[in-house]
Structures are given as C-alpha cells and as structure tokens.
C-alpha cells in the first residue's frame, strides 16, 4: 500500500468525522413544543427557537421582567413561537441593550420546567440596518424650567 | 431643491462602467485569440482605451457618491440612510462603504487599481487575465446598476443614486410633499462609528480583490496551456493577497476585541468564517505554488486551491449578502434583492473554472513518482492537506443555512441550525488542526532547507524537540497550564518556534531575502500560544463578591453560582470589592472636542443643536482651562463614558472608561469595552447595563416638604443636610432677569457617606410668575426644589423627591498574555512582506 493511499484514507476519515460531528453538534430550529418534547425525552441538545415578542398595540413589550438591583443577571420575557405558543424565556445575563427595539428574536438554549433557559439571544432589529420611517430633525432647544 | 443632475450623472457613470467592462472583456478576449502581432497590438490599444474609460467611469461613480455624502444631499437615499450632519469627517469615509452598494463600489474600485498595476507589471499575461478581470468587473458593476429591464420587470442591481422619495415611496410625507428633503440623515450605526470601520473594510476588500489576480493567472494558464509559466508571475500577487487578507482578518479581530463587545477577538460567526476559509485555502495554494515552480508535483493542487479561493470569496459574498443567513448571523446584510444575481455570478465562474480544468486535466503535467516520505514535497503536501481539512471543517457548518435553502427548494423542510456554542464547536477541531500545522511547519521547513541525506540528518530535529519540551514544560508550570490538549498545543507551538528560529538563524546570515517563510511560521506559532492563553485561560473578574445572594433558587446556585454571577452591580460612588480590586463607579462622562480625556456632563448645558453644548462652568484639566463659562463646545452626544476606578491590593489605581454609544435617530446601543493593557495581561471591562441608557425613565417619589430657617439641619431621605445660606442671584443661565424680577438660591450641604454634596435649588419670580429650578444629586438619588419663601418668618420651604441611585452593571475579564497573539500576528505579516519583496525580484 502506497503511503499516499494511507494519507488519502486518513483524509477521508477526518472529512467524514467533520461531517458526522457537524450533524451531531448542530442545533435545530424548533417550536417550544418540540423543545419541550426533546427535553422530556432526555435530549440535552441546545435548540434554536425563533419567535416574536409579546407586545401591546402601541408596541410596548408585555410580561418582561428585569430587576437589576436584585439580580443583574436575571432577565425574563415572553416569546411567541411559530405556533403562537407563549413561553417564558429566562436569560441569566443582563438584559441586552437593544432588546426593546427588536422584532424577531432567536433564543438558543433548552426547555426546563415549562420555561426556556436561553444561553444566547440573537435579535433582529429591522431598524438597525435599515431605516423604516422618516423623521425630521428634532432640535433640542435650551430648556429653562420656568 | 432636489439635486437631480448629480444623481443622474452618477447613474450614467455606473452604466458606463458596466458597459465598458463588457466591451473591454470582449476586446481582451479577441486580443487573446489573435496570433498576428499587428492584430494583437490593435486589440491591445482598443481594449486599453476601453479599460481606461472603465477606470474613469468607476472613479466618477466613487467621486459622485462621495460628493453626495459630503454635501449632505439627503434627498438621496444613500446619504440619508448612512450619514448625518453631525458626523465627523472621518466617518464620512466609513458611511461610504457601510451600505451594500458602497461596499461593492469599493471592491470595484480596488479591482480597477489592481488591473491598472497588472497591465504594466504583467504585460505578457494582459490579454487572458484582463478578460477574466473585466468579466468579474461586469458582474460587480451589475450589482449597483439599478436598472429595470423593460417588459420583463426584472431589476438588476441596486443603485446607490436612488432618491429617497423613490426608495421610500410608501412614506406618507411624499404624498403631501413630493419634494420633501429631510434636514438630517439617520447617521451611521453607532456600532460602526469607529476608526476600525474606516480602515478594516477597505483592507478586507483589497484582500478580496487581490484574490482575483492569482485566479486570473490560473485561468490564463489553463487557457493558454502554459500550465507552469503562470506560477512565477502569480507568486508576488498571491503573497500580496495572503498578506492583505490576513491583515484584514486580524484587524477584524482587533476591532472585535477593542471596540465591539464580543468579549474576544473571534466569534466564529458566518461572516468571520467567510473570510477565514478562503484565507486558509490561499495559504495552502501559496505553499503548493512554491513546489509547483520546482517541479510538476503540485501543479494540479495549486490550480485547484487558487481557483477554490476565488470561488470561496464569491461564496462568502453570497452567503453574507443574500440574506440567506437570516437567523444565523446578527451582522449580515439584509437582502437587497441581489441574491439571484450573486448566485449567477458565483455559478458562472465556478462553471468556467471547472470546464477549463476538466478540458485541460489530462494535459497538466504531474509527477507520477510516488511521494517519498523524506522529501520536502511530502511534508508540504501534508501541511496543505491539513489546511484544506481545517477550511473544510469551517465550511461545512457555515453552509447549514444554504443547505436548508436547497432542501426547501425541493419542497422538503429542513430546520437544521448552526451549532449552539460556536466557539466550543469550532475550537475542538481547529485546535487539533493547528497542533498538526505547527508541527508540519517545523518539519516542512527542515526538509526544505536541510536536505535529507540519511537517517543521521534527522538528528538535527532532536535538539529542538528537547528544547521545546523544556520550554513547554516551563511555560506550563509557570502559567499553570493543566489541560493536556493545551500542553500538547504548547509543545507543538514551541517546537515550531524553535525549529523555525534555528532555520532563520541559518539563512539570515546569507541575507534576509529568504527569511519570509521562517518568520511567518514563527508568527503563527506565537499566535497559537497567544490564543491558547487569552482564550483558554481568560478569567471573569467581575464575579459577584458582595456576599449578597441574589437568589437562593437552584438555577442561581448550581455550578457554584457560575451561570449567572459574572456581572457586578456598582452603585455610583460606592466602592465595591471585585476579585482583588476595589472598584468604584464614579459617574457618566462626556467627550468634548479639544479637551483631553473626559468631562463631567454637569459642565455642559444644552445648546441649539445636539452636537453642541454650552459650558456652564469653566472646563479645565490639570490646571489648564480649555473653555470659559458660556463657550460653545463640540460634543459627541452619542457617546457616554463610564468612569470606573480600580484600586488593587498594592494600592495601585487606574481608571477605565468603557463606553456605550447611542444612535439617536436610528436607535440602538453599542457597548465598547475599555482595556487596561499590561505586558502580561489585559483587563477587559465593559458596561453591560445602565438603566438610563436602556431608556428607562427615572421614577421620582412624591416630593416631601421641609421648612427651615437659615442654618437649620434637615433630614433628607436618611441624609443629614444643613441649609447653609440663601442668597440673591442676578444671573441665571437661560433666563433674562429684569429689575422687577427676583431670584434666590439656597445652599444646602448634604452629608453623603463618602463626601459632601451641595444642592443649590433656585426660586425665581419673573414677570409675576413663580418658577422653581430644582437640583438633582444623582449620587444620592435626591432632587431638591425650592418651593417657597416666607419673608415674614424667614422660613424657606423645600420639596425633596427620591429615586433610585445611579448604577451600572459591569463585566470584567482578564485575558492573560494576549499580547503574544498580537505580536505573533505582526511577525507573521512581516514574514509575508519579506516574501513579497523576494518574489518581486
């Protein structure tokens, strides 16, 4: 057997290992129900859930809680997934700065006791990259409180 | 008035650049097919003339877009969307390439410059290579064409010269005022207002552009059947591309580390992977080209690698710009409707390259002899194989969103998401690839420079192996490296460092010219050691050490509270223990043009426009007065700095100013760290949360009333206060007092825990109306207003409201030996530069 063949075989083995490990370690985009089923069946893999925030008619986020003076690393909010199922998401980190402005949110983590424990939050703020409305310049005049 | 002319001119120049690139491609194609020298020269003259027209058109497009942005023509969407009146000049450059259209334009511009150099530097290869060049240009120019094909209703490209009213025709304002021009633009995303944004994208795009040259050479070589001849002239260009692309990648890492809040320099984001993959393949290609010049063994590999690099650059462009990443990346562009065009671009060049390769494959010379183990060829092949596998390992998971799309095209549903913990996922592979690469870069160098004659010559490697073992053991014990994987990496990197150092010592005596390879390899070894320490052993300093349990729930306490105890809450002016430091948050600071360091925002009153302020008191620094009271100063309202003082056990004091940037018009916040740089480590600090910046309004309690005489002691919200004095004032900023008006100011001294505060609320009677100017002391969460004066009894009434004190939530990380990474990067780049000079002759 020529040495190039041995190397060739090693390369193929490594390449297969790469692909297998990728398919093993990849996460999936699921709904909360699927995430709960996965957690219930004992699978500990992290999943992605795409959802939108619960907002009222004027755009204020509902059922969001962050009390930094009690615990700066505890933030919870409600997310509505593709199936319109609402679930509480717990994020043990400070509240992300742009959170209020985001429309679509991707949370990465796992379900635990009917709550989704997020390790990472990806936010899509449409306005971050693209302006959606036109505003005139607001001039901040000097204010004297008389 | 809407300046329509300039936009029409710009659009015309875009169309001209597109058409001229097509004609030039045709001209060069004809030239490459001609044998007759007269005909060749005719076509050369023709093609060059068209190329220069193209060059002029591109310069005109660039110039026009600059003109529009610099003159703040906000009737143009691009200017409105990316710039604003208050933006400093240097960021005008940045907003030019912030948008997709501008970055395509930047890319086109670099191609044109490289093409110009190419025509004069590589005259023999002009015809075939420039055919490829101009074809690529045509595709790129089509991306900014912005033309709708009549009848078909297909839009090609997205023009940077589109008017705002056309871009946002749905906006209600244009229904009532068709000629409406906004007074100000929406500005550059705060995240991008940064000097790295000025230098990083052009560098990266120059790197992207430079990969076209080796590709064009490879295609020309296949086309002309000059399979080996292209290698030598392509060599300096390839080195240049490797160098520039590498510089761009490292700059991105430094940017992420120093200003973006990644908490590190590499995140394995698809956008980052998109440049890393072609860089790896080009480095591999560089090594095979070194071999291919000597004999035929590596020709096919060189062709494949050089071609793949260019295709991978196109692929990276496609995945970052087509919107396909969607949920996978936070910093990819949104879809401009160009994905189809980008896909055609990608497929056309992949197709051309593959067809040519298949046609010529049998004729490309290759060595039939079996690769012997004790040859340089063998070891370099091993090296490029590992580089290729490393690239493949990054490519596969990065392509997951593409895979999902392909599956969807066939009607099925695929919901595969990228690995949840990208850093851990990629590291577990890349670590081992780079351990092997470090070893091969040493052994390969040995075989390259020291001819293997017998088993005895292998003894040369024994010494470095032993010294590296000692060195690695020493470093591991001093720096407490315990994990076996890291110890192996340390050993491999030390071995590479020593072998390459020894070879450098050997060849440098004959001049520096051939030293590039050894130097670059040493740089890579140093980088590996730097990455090992700064990533593997970074330590969160800001653990909550107050002894206060925020919650006793299981979620909070498991894993030794690790999950959620990596941030510290700092109340203003309340020293808090954090690791071995006493840390104090001293308040928000502003930046004033012309004043070094930072300024207390209390000294700045508001002025007519947001980016100007009026000094309410003299602004001085270390005894020097920069501005007098009442002067108008230039401020940067989007930036807030947080003064955080660290005091360590030895009594050493330093202050860091982490920043939060706010973009008023566009919304959004960007966190930037501040770094205490020390030779052996960095202390990396950033503000994670500030209630004010997050848009939370302060809630004040209902005012409580107090009545006092001069000299009385008051108890304001747990604080002892003394009403020292009440004086008449004649001068209040912003108010004109006449002889019939009156104003008095109280002087209340409040004794805080660590210092005294003076509150000076004012009571004004103007035009028979009463006004109260309250004073807020943020440190104490108090607001005092002067409610009434009773001249008969000499009593004064004050109202006091309370609120929560200011605080920030801070994260601090220690990054040991990160400087080795930066030093290694510079050493590697120096090696490339030396090689470029060596190959340029």
Each residue of B739-757: pLDDT tens digit? 778 888 888 888 877 778 8
Q: Judge: B183–A50 Cβ closer than 8 Å, yes or no.
A: no
Q: Judge: B550–A71 Cβ closer than 8 Å, yes or no.
A: yes
CA distances from B556 to A71, B75, B420, B816, B836 (A): 10, 53, 22, 28, 56
Q: Judge: A128–B671 Cβ closer than 8 Å, yes or no.
A: no
| Model confidence at A139: pLDDT above 60 | no
Residues of A in contact with B330 (CB under 8 A): 122-124
Q: Judge: A145–B396 Cβ closer than 8 Å, yes or no.
A: no
Interval B136-175: pLDDT, tens: 999 999 999 988 888 777 788 889 998 888 887 777 777 7
Q: Is B330 exposed, middle or buried (0-12, 13-18, 19+ CB in 10 A)?
A: middle
Count of A–B CB contacts within 8 Å?
191
Q: Is B174 exposed, middle or buried (0-12, 13-18, 19+ CB in 10 A)?
A: middle
Interval A44-92: pLDDT, tens: 678 888 888 888 877 777 888 888 777 788 889 999 888 888 899 999 8
Nearest CA to B279 out of B309, B301, B303 is that of B309
DSSP per-residue letters across B115-169: HHHHHHH-GGGHHHHHHHHHHHHHHHHHHT--EEETTTTEEES--TT-BHHHHTT
The pLDDT-based confidence of B673 (bands split at 50, 70, 90) is very high
From B83-87, B501-505, B549-553, B592-596, the region with the lowest mean pLDDT? B549-553
Q: Residue A129: what pLDDT?
A: 40
Return the exposure string of B797-826: e unless at least 16 CB atoms fall within 10 Å of the residue's CB, then b. Answer: ebbbbbbebbbbbbbbbbbbbbbbbbbbbe
Give this complex's ipTM: 0.80
Q: How far apart are CA B155 and CA B146, in angstroms?
A: 7
Q: How far apart are CA B340 and CA B426, in angstroms?
A: 30
Select from A11, A27, A119 the Cβ nearest to the Cβ of B385. A11
From B370-384, B445-459, B654-668, the region with the lowest mean pLDDT? B654-668
Residues of A in contact with B389 (CB under 8 A): 11, 14-15, 18
| Model confidence at B214: pLDDT above 90 | yes
| Residue in chain A nearest B764 by alpha carbon | A146
- Residue B633 near residue B615, CB atoms below 8 Å: yes
Q: Residue A133: what pLDDT?
A: 45
- Residue B283 near residue B242, CB atoms below 8 Å: yes
Interval B381-425: pLDDT, tens: 999 999 999 999 999 999 988 888 888 888 777 778 888 888 888
The pLDDT-based confidence of B523 (bands split at 50, 70, 90) is very high
Q: Residue B544: what pLDDT?
A: 63
Q: Residue B395: what pLDDT?
A: 95
Q: Judge: A14–B667 Cβ closer than 8 Å, yes or no.
A: no
Q: Is B640 exposed, middle or buried (0-12, 13-18, 19+ CB in 10 A)?
A: buried
Interval B227-271: pLDDT, tens: 999 999 999 999 999 999 999 999 999 988 988 777 788 888 888
Q: How far apart are CA B7 and CA B555, in angstroms?
A: 59
Q: Residue A60: what pLDDT?
A: 77
| Model confidence at B489: pLDDT above 90 | yes
Q: Does A110 touch chain B (CB under 8 A)?
A: no
Give the torsion sign (CA, A123, A124, A125, A129): positive
Q: Judge: B606–A143 Cβ closer than 8 Å, yes or no.
A: yes
Nearest CA to A72 out of B421, B698, B548, B659 is that of B548
Q: For a pLDDT cut of 90, what percent of chain B falls above it?
A: 44
Q: Residue B44: what pLDDT?
A: 95
Q: Residue B332: what pLDDT?
A: 46
Q: Judge: A144–B734 Cβ closer than 8 Å, yes or no.
A: yes
Interval B93-152: pLDDT, tens: 888 888 888 999 999 999 999 999 999 999 999 999 999 999 999 999 999 998 888 877
| Residue in chain B nearest A108 by alpha carbon | B420
- Residue B56 near residue B162, CB atoms below 8 Å: no
CA distances from A140 to B28, B457, B544, B608, B666 (A): 59, 78, 40, 6, 17
Q: Judge: A47–B416 Cβ closer than 8 Å, yes or no.
A: no
| Model confidence at B665: pLDDT above 70 | no
Return the exposure string of A39-51: e unless at least 16 CB atoms fall within 10 Å of the residue's CB, then b. Answer: beeeeeebbbbbb
Q: Is B89 exposed, middle or buried (0-12, 13-18, 19+ CB in 10 A)?
A: exposed
Q: For a pLDDT cut of 70, what percent of chain B falls above it?
A: 93
Q: How far apart are CA B317 and CA B359, in angstroms?
A: 28
Q: How far apart are CA B598 and CA B61, in angstroms?
A: 40
Q: Judge: A29–B417 Cβ closer than 8 Å, yes or no.
A: yes
Q: Judge: B566–A73 Cβ closer than 8 Å, yes or no.
A: yes
From B156-160, B713-717, B786-790, B793-797, the region with the lowest mean pLDDT? B713-717
Q: How close does chain B come to A136, measured CA to CA in Å?
A: 6
Residues in chain A: 146
Select from B567, B665, B667 the Cβ nearest to the Cβ of A101. B667
Q: Judge: B809–A134 Cβ closer than 8 Å, yes or no.
A: no
Q: Which long-range contacts (CB under 8 A, 24 or more apart) does A61-70 make?
A: A61/A99, A61/A100, A63/A88, A64/A99, A66/A95, A68/A94, A68/A95, A68/B569, A68/B689, A68/B691, A68/B807, A68/B809, A69/B569, A69/B804, A69/B807, A70/B550, A70/B551
Helices (H), B509-581: 516-536, 554-557
Candidates B415, B549, B552, B771: best to mutate against A (most CBs of A within 10 A) is B415
Q: Does A48 touch chain B (CB under 8 A)?
A: yes
Average pLDDT over chain B reads: 87
Nearest CA to B818 out of B698, B694, B681 is that of B681
| Model confidence at A40: pLDDT above 90 | no
From B50-59, B222-231, B690-699, the region with the lowest mean pLDDT? B690-699
Give the torsion sign (CA, A111, A112, A118, A123): positive
Q: How far apart are CA B685 and CA B567, in angstroms?
A: 11
Q: Residue B138: what pLDDT?
A: 96
Residues of A in contact with B333 (CB under 8 A): 129
């Amino acid at each position: 057997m020529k040495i190039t063949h041995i190397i060739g075989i090693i390369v193929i083995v490594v390449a297969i290992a790469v692909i297998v490990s990728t398919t093993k370690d990849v996460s999936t985009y699921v709904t909360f129900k699927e995430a709960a089923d996965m957690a219930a069946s004992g699978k500990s893999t992290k999943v992605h859930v795409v959802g939108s925030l619960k907002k009222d008619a004027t755009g204020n986020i509902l059922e969001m809680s962050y009390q930094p003076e009690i615990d700066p690393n505890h933030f919870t909010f409600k997310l509505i997934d593709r199936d319109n199922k609402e679930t509480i998401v717990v994020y043990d980190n400070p509240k992300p700065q742009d959170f209020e402005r985001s429309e679509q949110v991707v949370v990465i983590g796992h379900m635990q006791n009917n709550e989704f424990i997020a390790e990472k939050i990806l936010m899509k703020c449409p306005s971050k990259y693209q302006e959606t409305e036109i505003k005139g310049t607001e001039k901040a005049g000097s204010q004297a409180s008389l | 008035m809407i300046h329509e002319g300039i936009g029409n001119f710009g659009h015309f120049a875009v169309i001209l650049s597109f058409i001229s690139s097509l004609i030039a491609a045709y001209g060069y194609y004809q030239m490459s097919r001609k044998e007759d020298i007269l005909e060749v020269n005719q076509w050369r003259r023709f093609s060059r003339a068209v190329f220069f027209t193209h060059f002029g058109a591109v310069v005109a497009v660039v110039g026009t877009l600059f003109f529009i942005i610099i003159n703040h023509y906000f009737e143009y969407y691009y200017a409105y969307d990316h710039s604003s009146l208050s933006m400093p000049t240097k960021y005008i450059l940045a907003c030019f390439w912030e948008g997709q259209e501008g970055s395509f334009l930047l890319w086109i511009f670099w191609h044109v410059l490289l093409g110009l150099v190419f025509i004069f530097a590589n005259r023999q290869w002009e015809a075939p290579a420039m055919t490829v060049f101009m074809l690529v240009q045509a595709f790129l120019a089509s991306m900014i064409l912005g033309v709708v094909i009549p009848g078909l209703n297909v839009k090609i490209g997205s023009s940077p010269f589109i008017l705002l009213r056309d871009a946002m025709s749905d906006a209600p304002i244009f229904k009532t005022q068709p000629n409406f021009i906004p007074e100000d633009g929406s500005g550059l995303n705060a995240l991008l207002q940064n000097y790295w944004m000025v230098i990083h994208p052009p560098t990266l795009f120059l790197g992207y552009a430079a990969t076209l040259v080796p590709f064009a050479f490879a295609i020309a070589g296949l086309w002309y059947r000059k399979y080996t001849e292209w290698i030598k002239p392509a060599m300096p260009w390839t080195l240049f591309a490797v160098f520039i692309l590498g510089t761009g990648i490292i700059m991105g890492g430094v940017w992420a580390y120093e200003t973006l809040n990644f908490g590190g320099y590499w995140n394995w984001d698809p956008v980052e992977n998109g440049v890393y993959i072609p860089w790896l393949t080009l480095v591999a290609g560089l090594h095979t080209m070194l071999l291919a010049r000597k004999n035929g063994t590596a020709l096919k590999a060189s062709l494949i690698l050089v071609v793949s690099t260019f295709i991978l650059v196109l692929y990276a462009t496609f995945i970052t710009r087509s919107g396909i990443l969607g949920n996978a990346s936070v910093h990819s562009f949104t879809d401009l409707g160009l994905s189809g065009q980008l896909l055609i671009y990608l497929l056309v060049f992949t197709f051309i390259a593959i067809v040519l390769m298949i046609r010529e494959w049998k004729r490309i010379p290759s060595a039939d002899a079996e690769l012997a183990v004790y040859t340089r060829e063998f070891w370099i092949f091993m090296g490029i194989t590992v580089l290729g596998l490393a690239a493949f390992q990054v490519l596969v998971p990065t392509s997951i969103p593409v895979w999902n799309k392909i599956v969807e095209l066939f009607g099925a549903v695929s919901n595969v998401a990228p690995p949840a913990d990208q850093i851990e996922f990629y590291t577990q592979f890349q670590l081992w690839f780079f351990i092997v690469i470090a070893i091969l870069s040493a052994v390969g160098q040995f075989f390259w420079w020291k001819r293997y004659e017998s088993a005895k010559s292998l003894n040369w490697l024994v010494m470095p192996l032993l010294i590296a073992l000692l060195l690695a053991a020493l470093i591991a014990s001093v720096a407490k490296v315990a994990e076996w994987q890291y110890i192996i990496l340390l050993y491999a990197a030390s071995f590479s460092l020593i072998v390459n150092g020894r070879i450098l010592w050997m060849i440098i005596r004959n001049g520096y010219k051939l030293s590039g390879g050894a130097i670059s390899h040493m740089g890579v070894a140093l980088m590996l050691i730097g990455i090992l320490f700064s990533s593997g052993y970074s330590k969160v300093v800001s653990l909550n050490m107050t002894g206060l349990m925020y919650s006793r729930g299981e979620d909070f306490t498991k894993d030794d509270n690790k999950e959620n105890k990596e941030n510290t809450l700092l109340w203003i002016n309340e020293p808090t223990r954090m690791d071995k430091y006493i840390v104090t948050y001293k308040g928000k600071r502003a930046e004033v043009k012309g004043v070094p360091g930072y300024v207390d925002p209390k000294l700045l009153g508001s002025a007519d426009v947001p980016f100007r302020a009026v000094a309410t008191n003299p602004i001085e620094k270390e005894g020097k007065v920069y501005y007098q009271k009442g002067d108008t100063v230039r401020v940067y309202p989007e930036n807030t700095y947080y003064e955080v003082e660290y005091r360590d056990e030895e009594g050493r004091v330093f202050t860091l100013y982490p920043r939060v940037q706010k973009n008023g018009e566009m919304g959004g916040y960007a966190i930037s760290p501040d770094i205490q740089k020390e030779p052996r480590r960095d202390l990396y600090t950033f503000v994670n949360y500030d209630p004010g910046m997050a848009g939370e309004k302060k809630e004040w309690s209902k005012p409580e009333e107090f009545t006092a005489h001069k000299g009385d002691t008051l108890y304001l919200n747990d604080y002892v206060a003394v009403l020292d004095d009440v004086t008449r004032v004649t001068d209040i900023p912003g108010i004109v007092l006449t002889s019939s008006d009156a104003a008095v100011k109280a002087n209340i001294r409040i004794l805080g825990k660590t210092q005294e505060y003076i509150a000076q609320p004012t009571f004004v009677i103007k035009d028979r109306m009463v006004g109260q100017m309250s004073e807020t002391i943020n440190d104490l969460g108090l607001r005092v207003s002067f409610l009434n004066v009773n001249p008969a009894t000499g009593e004064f009434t004050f109202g006091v409201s309370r609120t929560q004190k200011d605080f920030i939530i801070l994260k601090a990380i220690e990054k040991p030996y990160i400087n080795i990474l930066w030093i290694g990067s510079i050493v590697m780049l120096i090696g490339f530069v030396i090689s470029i000079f060596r190959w340029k002759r």
